[in-house]
Structure 1
């Protein structure tokens, strides 16, 4: 290993953690270099954030849908349903308008969408938007639909497959590979239940 040889010669040690440096100094030339490389790198600073854990509210047992929040076109968008039941990503017109995009961003092309009961809804067109998730910025094509919905966006198989993602309604998260390892976006059960209740009541606005 080229990096291991450089470490043996004293190079690149400024990129090691203090623990790794001490380990190298104590063990001398007999230290397995791979052990030092496996240690975490030196952190310049720590940014304290809440990332969940035992204190996070997770309601079980449940039958909730997976509803997340992501940054779309540089705006934080909530009430995003992750669903693998369709071959088209959907953004509802109210959410599209709230993004503040120019009308020219929309490619006018009607596409028929067929519902569970056979009803047909024509789309307003499609739009290509960047969807940011844990360091990955994925250009995503959406069909724009003008109808009441408790959701802002529905991410379907195209986004899921392009991200190499594995969504789990049971565990309330979607995981996907990144250049920095496997990342996860957690769902919001309260939002999922609110959207479900709104749908049952036939209201267009979220409670």
Structure 2
């Protein structure tokens, strides 16, 4: 990595001394958040929250909507809401700043819930595909009619499997503290460096 020359303002150095300095990591010196990405995140978060909540409400409210397929769709909506409520706000915050302000517990929780939600969605779509396949192929012989209780039991098992698969993330995910140079442009156009932990 090439050395960059800055007018450094560090303890023990003259204010306008020119020092060769190589950042410990490849950072964008003057980071500006991407407004377009943040706007898209907020739009997706809002639509996901409203659409998934509405679907769950309709299936729970109306008895005739409680088919096996709709139970699978409710499960998909629950998994989407997990990502919407826990993971997307953190992604929006990461679009605003390069630093992690949420602490160790949130680091573990967000990564764990994101993995569990994705695995649960994949398993649910697989279960829906198998259900539709059996409904079509078994229609000429004995009709395939799964019960709602059976579908709920299957989904509970799929959630347990998803939780078990991503449980190691709770032990592995961690926050590391790094010395990050905080760079600021002064009135005369020079760059001052302040090392913060």
Question: TM-score of the superposition, structure 2-length normalised?
Answer: 0.24
Structure 1 or 2: larger helix share? 2
* Higher RCO (CA-CA < 8 Å; seq separation 6+): 2
Structure 1 or 2: larger strand share? 1
Structure ID, larger Rg: 2
